[in-house]
Amino acid sequence: QKEVEQNSGPLSVPEGAIASLNCTYSDRGSQSFFWYRQYSGKSPELIMSIYSNGDKEDGRFTAQLNKASQYVSLLIRDSQPSDSATYLCAVSRTGGFKTIFGAGTRLFVKA
């Protein structure tokens, strides 16, 4: 079992729709959870960090964390073609330097 699992996609949604990206993790000691967006050939860009169970909203993005189910998700509302990228889920333990990345989900938003 991989430490951080994501559906590789591609996930294709029409412009204006909600894109839902999912991630599961295996280490119950994980305390910090991150979503990064990475355009082809570019570096990862932080979208959201979340540390507590529940929802966290920032503009069109909502991160959801459920530690009991070891599940974290990212919702993108009103998806735009510019949201087309690979989304990396990343997880780390408190006090640890190692951030474990999932393989990423490729998202395509069709105009």
- For binding to other proteins (CB under 8 A), which residues are involved? 32, 34, 36, 41-46, 49, 88, 90, 92, 94-99, 101-104
Pick between residue 19 and residue 88 the one whose CB is nearest to other proteins.
88
Q: CB under 8 Å to 91, separation ≥6 — which residues?
A: 3, 4, 23, 25, 27, 30, 32, 33, 34, 72, 99, 100
Give, as one character, the DSSP assignment of residue 15.
T
User: Which of 22-37 are b and which e, b meaning 16 or more Cβ less than 10 Å from the residue's Cβ?
Assistant: bbbbeeeebeebbbbb
Shortest distance in whole angstroms from residue 14 CB to other proteins = 25
Pick between residue 8 and residue 18 the one whose CB is nearest to other proteins.
8
Shortest distance in whole angstroms from residue 103 CB to other proteins = 6
Pick between residue 75 and residue 100 the one whose CB is nearest to other proteins.
100
Shortest distance in whole angstroms from residue 81 CB to other proteins = 21
